[in-house]
Chains A and B, each alone.
Chain A
Amino acid sequence: MQQRIKTGIKGLDEMLHGGFLPQTANLVEGAAGTGKTTLGMQFIYNGITRYNEPGLIITFEEFPQQYYRDAAAFGWDFKKLEQEDKLKVIMTSPEVTKLDLERVGGTIETLVTEMGARRILIDSLSHFERLSSDPVELRTVEYSFINALKREGLTSVLTRESPALLGGTDNDDENVAFIVDSYILMRYVEIESAIHRALLVLKLRGSDHDKDIRQYEIASQGIKVQAKFEGQEGIMSGSPRRMAESFVEAFVKR
């Protein structure tokens, strides 16, 4: 049985057949408000509190204050965890992080050694796009960054923004999907005039995984992954149809 790094998120670990693989890079992609950061924070919080694995959060946009507040809303006391040296919320930029990881004895390396950090949330990888407009160069930069995280023994969750609120991705940088070890999509879907949230594990390198598209909710204690969507198809397009309707459309209306 392979060792797994559990997210501690009910339903998600089940979809991942136990959790992420150790020292892997795991991409979580979705539109604004789908809960990418919440999923990442929950991965870090559960790691510290349930599995005794200290964690780091690297933010390129939101102020750490915002994380303290958002986490507190779920009952996660990030400030206390920082005081106990089990967590560090670091605000910095992709260029500084990249340079830091390239040198010996950088901040992240030091924190990994001093805190024994095992998990990291990078929020978000989208900001790396400002380092280069050349897709080939960008892929090299991201590849080297992800490898540096693995070298430090970290299992990472990397968030990435998707500009489309509903439906498929319009991301320019599709290369990153190839260099990460797992790829989770979080989407808004419209069903019967209501917006739902859907989650799919698109890829999990080195392991089988659940192929269902599941509903999830952002509840008072974080993300809860629920049952799969039944009787619908085209979920990830954002506008699913009942399977019976598509059957009629495809075969009966001809």
Chain B
Amino acid sequence: MALQSDDFTAKLMDNMDSRLLDFIRDKVTSFIKWDLVRFFYENPSTTDSVENIAKYAGRNTAAVQSELEELVESGVMEMQLIDDLPVYSLASDEEMRQLVEKFILACEDRHFRVKAVYHIIRGLR
């Protein structure tokens, strides 16, 4: 019976645009990443070091570093070395930017946010 209830919840929570579902499951896999994605969506031409991005986000540098690296790996962000200093910015790929925009706009809906939170928590387990 419990399994059935879990299945029902999962089905309900999966009920969203498949591209956004993949985006949350594969790319925005933590709340810090969510914050970072939102920050870069709102400030799309930001280009800076981990230390400064952490300051802007009001987070710990070490925590932000690993999250940024994963966002780079998944193609949401880009990293370039400027004189050995890693500098991060939002991916310039238009398709990725559109997906980020779609995600942020979808987050304005409370139901979508609840579903996104559910998937992130499940992923963190």
The answer to whether A and B belong to the same complex is yes
On A, residues with C-beta under 8 Å from B are: 63-65, 82, 88-93, 95-96, 99-100, 102-103, 106-107
On B, residues with C-beta under 8 Å from A are: 42-49, 52, 56, 82-83, 85, 87
State in angstroms the CA–CA spacing of A91 and B42 once bound together.
Answer: 11
CB distance from A173 to the nearest CB of B (A): 21
Is the pair B85, A91 in contact by a Cβ cutoff of 8 Å?
no
Determine the chain A residues whose CB is within 8 A of the CB of B48 once the complex forms. 91-93, 96
Say yes or no: A100-B82 contact (C-beta < 8 A), given A91-B56, A93-B48.
yes
State in angstroms the CA–CA spacing of A166 and B29 once bound together.
Answer: 51
CB distance from A144 to the nearest CB of B (A): 14
State in angstroms the CA–CA spacing of A91 and B87 once bound together.
Answer: 12
Partner of B47, one of A63, A96, A103: A96
State in angstroms the CA–CA spacing of A56 and B70 once bound together.
Answer: 30
Is the pair B49, A90 in contact by a Cβ cutoff of 8 Å?
no
Is the pair A103, B52 in contact by a Cβ cutoff of 8 Å?
no
* A66 (CB) vs chain B CBs: closest residue: B43
Determine the chain B residues whose CB is within 8 A of the CB of A92 once the complex forms. 46-48, 52
Is the pair A91, B82 in contact by a Cβ cutoff of 8 Å?
no
State in angstroms the CA–CA spacing of A91 and B44 once bound together.
Answer: 9
CB distance from A72 to the nearest CB of B (A): 14
Is the pair B82, A103 in contact by a Cβ cutoff of 8 Å?
yes
Is the pair B83, A99 in contact by a Cβ cutoff of 8 Å?
yes
Determine the chain A residues whose CB is within 8 A of the CB of B43 once the complex forms. 63-65, 89, 91
* A102 (CB) vs chain B CBs: closest residue: B83
* B87 (CB) vs chain A CBs: closest residue: A96
Is the pair A99, B85 in contact by a Cβ cutoff of 8 Å?
yes
State in angstroms the CA–CA spacing of A100 and B47 once bound together.
Answer: 10
* A65 (CB) vs chain B CBs: closest residue: B42
* B47 (CB) vs chain A CBs: closest residue: A92
CB distance from B40 to the nearest CB of A (A): 10
What are 22 A-B contacts defined by CB distance under 8 Å? Answer: A63-B43, A63-B56, A64-B43, A64-B44, A65-B42, A82-B45, A88-B45, A90-B46, A90-B47, A91-B43, A91-B46, A91-B47, A91-B56, A92-B48, A92-B52, A93-B48, A93-B49, A93-B52, A96-B48, A96-B82, A100-B47, A107-B47
CB distance from A253 to the nearest CB of B (A): 56
State in angstroms the CA–CA spacing of A63 and B56 once bound together.
Answer: 8
Say yes or no: A90-B45 contact (C-beta < 8 A), given A95-B85, A96-B82, A106-B82.
yes
Is the pair B83, A91 in contact by a Cβ cutoff of 8 Å?
no
Determine the chain B residues whose CB is within 8 A of the CB of A64 once the complex forms. 42-46
State in angstroms the CA–CA spacing of A99 and B86 once bound together.
Answer: 11
State in angstroms the CA–CA spacing of A95 and B47 once bound together.
Answer: 11
Determine the chain A residues whose CB is within 8 A of the CB of B52 once the complex forms. 92-93, 96
CB distance from B89 to the nearest CB of A (A): 8
Determine the chain B residues whose CB is within 8 A of the CB of A93 once the complex forms. 48-49, 52
Determine the chain A residues whose CB is within 8 A of the CB of B56 once the complex forms. 63, 91
State in angstroms the CA–CA spacing of A117 and B40 once bound together.
Answer: 23
* B55 (CB) vs chain A CBs: closest residue: A93
Is the pair B85, A96 in contact by a Cβ cutoff of 8 Å?
yes
Determine the chain B residues whose CB is within 8 A of the CB of A107 once the complex forms. 47
* B85 (CB) vs chain A CBs: closest residue: A99
State in angstroms the CA–CA spacing of A117 and B43 once bound together.
Answer: 20
CB distance from B13 to the nearest CB of A (A): 31
* B89 (CB) vs chain A CBs: closest residue: A107
CB distance from A127 to the nearest CB of B (A): 11
